[in-house]
Amino acid sequence: AGGVRRATAPREAARRPAASLGVLARAADCAVPLLQTPMKKTNALIAQMGVTFLNAYVPSALCCPSRASILTGKYPHNHHVVNNTLEGNCSSKSWQKIQEPNTFPALLKSMCGYQTFFAGKYLNEYGAEDAGGVSHVPPGWSFWYALEKNSKYYNYTLSVNGKARRHGENYSVDYLTDVLANMSLDFLEYKSNFEPFFMMISTPAPHSPWTAAPQYKNSFQNVSAPRNSNFNIHGKNKHWLIRQAKTPMTNSSIQFLDDAYRKRWQTLLSVDDLVEKLVKKLENHGELDNTYIFYTSDNGFHTGQFSLPIDKRQLYEFDIKVPLLVRGPGIKPNQTNKMLVANIDLGPTILDIAGYDLNKTQMDGMSLLPLLRGDKNVTWRSDFLVEYQGEGYNGSDPTCPGLGPGVTHCFPDCVCEDSYNNTYACVRTMSTSWDLQYCEFDDREVFVEVYNLTADPHQINNIAKTIDQEILEKMNYRLMMLQSCSGATCRTPGVFDPGYRFDPRLMFSNHGVRARRFSTRSLSSI
């Protein structure tokens, strides 16, 4: 959750009064359907009082790369965080030196005079001894309450402004979602009233291990994972990693994913309580009407689609699409917006609200502020880039030694969710003429997947071999351009925009844009 409160005089000569950015709430692994039932208070207090973005996405469906994109406003190929490991630049020394000084919270604090507050999960390897431990407090945060490493609900360590604080397993004082709520309420109670504020509250829920608060452990007993048309079917004509999933799934696998889905809902009830408490506190302090509140997630999640049990990381809608709800000054209630937006837009939006000149940043995203205000005739993007570098063990996965080296995140029935060559890049396009996704894998096959989501919203049929060749060529060229974009060049017209220009000769010219693929070799030096 994130919030921004209006400022009267930020240091960066604002063009408009900056809102108290208030609260940016960010739940982990929160697919869009998870908002439909358990988050009733959040829907009532944010969605119904503001705008719901129906087409909000992440450029990489994995925790650390996605969180890095939120903080920097950049695609993964520009912030260089490619997975959840230190070697993949997740909270590494390189990240700390090169990217952290230029995150939007750092600019809010240093250039716009904001008091800033962080509570919750930061990056998966935050607190690693090889990267400074929990004593490292990233620039830009006035108050810092960060979880060491990855998601937990009990028995965890927080960095409290650089000092380690250990928590146990007593619900009343240790349940992490409630601890984050209480810390946030304390900040709102005791913060300075003479400076605008920004809060980022990052709950691990509904991430595994899906530990619900005691009062919610029996909720949703009849809930099971959605049975859409892509549930428990073979991923024919897809990348080999999807094809290797066993279909139909075993009864034990289905029971496992249904239990996980239900437990995820249960954990979100505490997040829903957190949102309600924050909104009420802002209202009681007379600050609600002057505060922007954002609710979103770092990635989606799959539960049984194409017979993949549970995880994220894949290129499909269920993993890259996320909720995005916003309320605040000038936003009309109960609105929906169909524009194509991404989490790289959050940083530019918040800086724009604060009055900072976005031309001074190197961010790839766009400010959502014109959409939030309901401006007319806004020129907007029609596509964005999705990119992911697969992870795999050098040796065989101990769960499935027969599959050989290179795979990881394998289930007992040897369905593996990731591999070295699960490395891909996609152009996700939404225009008046096409709702399309074009993807290329960096593997020996140079495997291609293409989906027409107008006719096939659940991405069952790969039309790479039947779609018009000219469209394939244009999408391939557009993908190469986006993979090498930076800043403003990431916001050029898409394939189906009136201003788009395509010269097929550039695809084969030494002077044209060259393909820029992720590879283990090219990233090993980062």
Catalytic residues, by residue number, are 63
What span, in angstroms and rounded, lies between the C-alpha atoms of 484 and 270? Answer: 41
What are the angstrom distances between the C-alpha of 475 and each of 500, 504, 507? 12, 11, 11
Q: Identify any residues that bridge with 146 across adjacent strands, giving them in sequence order.
A: 120, 159
Q: Which amino acid is at 105?
A: P
Q: Identify the residue whose tokens are 């750092």.
A: 106
Q: Rounded to the nearest 5°, which phi and psi values hold at 324?
A: -150, 110
Other CB atoms closer than 10 Å to residue 60's CB: what's the count? 29
* Cβ neighbours of residue 177 closer than 8 Å, sequence gap 6 or more: 153, 203, 204, 205, 213, 267, 270, 271, 273, 274
Residues, the chain, total?
526
* Cα pseudo-dihedral 216, 217, 223, 228, rounded to 10: 90
Q: Which two tokens stand for residue 202?
A: 């990052």
Q: Rounded to the nearest 5°, which phi and psi values hold at 437?
A: -130, 125
Nearest alpha carbon to residue 482 among 523, 426, 441:
426
Instruction: Based on DSSP, count helices (H) and strands (E) in the chain, helices before strands.
Output: 14, 19
Cis peptide leading into residue 206 (ω within 30°): yes
Q: Which helix (H) or strand (E) holds 209?
A: none
What span, in angstroms and rounded, lies between the C-alpha atoms of 25 and 44? Answer: 15
Nearest alpha carbon to residue 60 among 386, 487, 482:
386
* Cβ neighbours of residue 348 closer than 8 Å, sequence gap 6 or more: 73, 104, 358, 361, 363, 365, 366, 367, 368
Beta pairing, strands 197-203 & 18-27: parallel
Give one word for 127, left, alpha or beta, with left for phi > 0 and alpha for psi -120 to 50: left
